Structure 1
């Protein structure tokens, strides 16, 4: 308990480090609630990041945000930030429907872009955004869809126990208690590209694609619930979707923005097929097989708490006689990885502290990419396009229809 309290306390109040003279200067477009978590707090412990400016539609909100977080410059519009030659990069935490337009504008202005998920409102916009000619030029701006949870060591430790080809079933779930959401929130505003699949559901979908290392070929089913009051009929407040992947595996994603008051950590549970495990101690007439279930509890905010449970079921059986079992047993372990050193494998040398949020790990890689240094994990543009295609498949299957496409070009 003491380590948990210390970790969370430090994560939200990290040590402030001396900034480099040529540190990247960020501007924030909008005084969104996610801004401090996504960038302001992680930047405190990064020597190569300075939060220089903010702009918001409500100037008073921008002033309040800047005063609270020690941001020196307040601009009158988003465009003023993009026009400032002293701003190197921007965070775009605007409502979903504005992501496409302002990301395009930022890229065209030569700014590096940390873009809140989902990257756009649909795959049409994503394909335009991530294929902008400016992104293929020498010294092109860096554009990253901010799927912070995918950068945390726990996710990569979890994936190390899984062979994608062997996956037969995956269940993922995430939720927010109903007390934290209201009908009038932007999450339920169709004109702002709202919906639970556009909110928490995107995290589930992204993790499913990481588990299979592939994209779904079909959305088998997608059940949703809406308020049904005539104003929010196109915005799901929860959903349950099933996808089929190229290897035949089935994946489930379920999310609720109106969940029980008793919060439940997000979960990803993977079941694999039986595989033969070599064992020289067995006679030639027998074989050993293993089936595995791997569960990651707490994939959304793993820095607070998470656990990776690995349960292996072994069977020794006769190769003939219909494979009659000779022996059966179960081996279980539980693991954690708050740092890449704990995660081991190819990432063991990467920097990090146990109190680093997934946002802090993400920022580390973003800066590395901007500086031309190697990145060990990255969400490529095609990945983001495929992600929006998956969301579109689910919305089409649900009958709610795609989120509207911006007229901006």
Structure 2
């Protein structure tokens, strides 16, 4: 018998450390090759660490929420046979761990007390009050997927029960910020502490745009996605940025350097079961409305299911945020550091509008947009939004060169 040490693998791209966001084993648990042991997060990408040996867990080297350096011991496994001769993983083995598929064998899954699921699925189940022991997994080796959760809820199973008696509650729950939630908190703190925000709100008459959107959806081909208002907004932003390049920029406030970008890489703030993520629609200036819609659907789905790649979550030059039907009347969006502008979409509402003679019903939508006042003056911010407004209120202008 001997010990085998699994180290934090080199995840690549110069990453020197990662945050431990979940353990799937504990001391005393049996493990087999390819069984998922832990999940770590760097930036906004989650990587699952599999075992390369058969044995029993002896020791865990970190707690959930800890930051672990690449190459540091992550856990020790008691092994027998040839594996006992290897006291610790080599650099090549660490790279193999990072690249290996994060799946567990069914035999080991049956022995573990914890259902097999990704961190995003576990968080979704926790927030919904669903006991994963009651959910049948259909993924690799019985792993529980988002679709399994949907099916479980669709069967009408009540995730939690409520007492009928009105009894005062005295329980207190302390929740440690870990994983994506901690990174969101750090990002928001950075943005609000270092960026002097100016927020500009303007109402847009989208009646004609909504008519155009309905017509295009009615005439679309079977291979074309259903259009929302976002592809039209993206096209309007691209056109307005041509005249106001100052808003399509990033600001290195430590070096005092503003970088204006020719390419328009639009971040789309999307709510997912794991928290807020910002997938990036690249080169919006080179896509038409249909191409924008197709790519938007792909990116949002990848973010929702936790399959978005690192390059799909970084590199944005300006961000759009929308809460859909929950968009409210006015919001004060926080800039995605180090960008200098974020466009907030509020919900569309039917409002009475005076046309000079009478009030008529029109579909109105507010844009609530924030700008870095160190880089963008109030006049420039207002001029930019007024150009976007003109394009959206006369949507035929969007496609005119």
Higher CA-based Rg: 2
TM-score, length basis structure 2: 0.25
TM-score, length basis structure 1: 0.25
Structure with the bigger RCO (C-alpha within 8 Å, sep 6+) is 1
